[in-house]
Amino acid sequence: MTHPHVHPGFTANPGGPAATRLYGPRFRRDPGQVYREMRRVHGPVAPVLLDGDVPAWLVLGYRELHYVTNTPELFGRDARRWHLADRVAPDWPLRTLTTWTPAAMQTEGAEFERRSAIVDDVLAGVDPFELRSTCERVCDELIDAFAGRGEADLIAEYARALPILVLGRLSGVAENALPDLLRMITDTADCTGPEALDSQQRLVVFFRDLIAERKVDPAADLGSAILAHPSRPTDDEAHWDLLMLVGFGQQPTTDWIGNTLRLMLTDNRFAITLSGGRRSVSQALTEVLWEDTPQQIFAGRYATRPTLLAGQHIQTGDLLLLGLAAANTDPQVRPDSFEIPSGNHAHMSFGHGDHRCPYPAQEIAETIARAAVEVLLDRLPDATLAISPDALVWRPSVWARGLSALPVHFAPS
């Protein structure tokens, strides 16, 4: 791959300690340790280098992340503000995260208010009882496929399959198209190679075609609901927002399920309840959002003018990455003695401010994740990890935190 050119007028943290590379095996092996080192050297905002040594700032501090996400007049969401946008190589895989699109999540001001209202209204229209029933039915179907074997990979055969089946049905995607849609979303989310760019373009075409179909033949699905909204979104707005809902719903929900199952299979605090009670499920789901949040880093925000943030001189057009995982473990707000109560949702795992993950989307994700864990524990109460916990492998992604596989054994049924 051709390395991106770095803007000649930009030097992260000039005269200060060297920027940290947010790529490579060391970061992927133990990102928490890298965050601690950066916080010790730089404080709550650190200069970093992305793949190809493209510079950015990583916001590590909880309070600083709160400030950045609540101050859109200083830190905009529109990726066209980035001063390196036209200077990175065409095949840079992180273009999937930093290229402007007309999706609601990259709009600002009155336009964002209009578009986000459409998304909120459409998602709020999803019946929670029907959704839970659908989730349980899909969970049973997936477990039926491997229950007789006595072994399974709970990532590939369960955690990854469930969200796309549920979200696909909500969105009116044909069943036979879901495997290809899942591959496109996974490749785009991990941003680990040139296939990410190709998959993103294929996703755009996929949802454009789906919206075109729904415009001619409306149905009881999310795409049709977006098109029918009183705000009258354009076809282009509709397909980008449907892509956002399904794409951003799939991978984080998969990782939330997988990380929660890993916790319950490997932590003695939860082992005692694997064969019964439900009280531990809520605690495990919440703890994962604090300790192993699926969305580790989110790109991003773009400085609208020069400003000082936690002692760092931020220049107009600089890219700021939201360190959600690092903020969740900020010792300034989470001392070592901090215990996570089941109902504590003060984490940053869904973002913060106006551009956070929409509340109805959070509720849908939690319904899917909770059903996945509860149904699995009901159906396979004796499931045990088939390998050592230390042998589990995390996917090679800077942005997401999720397992490549979660092999288990259980009594065939």
User: Which domains does the chain show, CATH number per domain?
Assistant: 20-409 (1.10.630.10)
H-helix segments, 353-394: 359-379
Q: What letter represents residue 353's amino acid?
A: G
How would you classify residue 313: left for phi > 0, otherwise alpha for psi between -120 and 50, otherwise beta? beta
Cα(139)–Cα(135) distance, integer angstroms: 6
pLDDT at 124 exceeding the cut of 60:
yes
Model confidence at 29, pLDDT cuts 50, 70, 90, reads confident
Q: What is the pLDDT of residue 191?
A: 63
Task: Give the least confident one: 58-67, 192-201, 377-386.
Answer: 192-201
Distance CA(378)–CA(118), nearest Å, equals 37
* CA distances from residue 85 to 2, 92, 100, 317, 364 in whole angstroms, order as listed: 16, 11, 9, 9, 34
Q: Mean pLDDT throughout 362-384? A: 96
Extended strands (E) in 88-222 = 151-153
Mean pLDDT of the chain: 89
89 three-state secondary structure = coil
Query: CA-to-CA distance for 75 and 88, rounded, in angstroms?
Result: 21
Q: What is the mean pLDDT of residues 41-63?
A: 95
From the DSSP assignment, how many helices (H) and strands (E) are in the chain?
15, 11
Residue 252's pLDDT is 94
Predicted confidence at residue 8, as pLDDT, reads 43
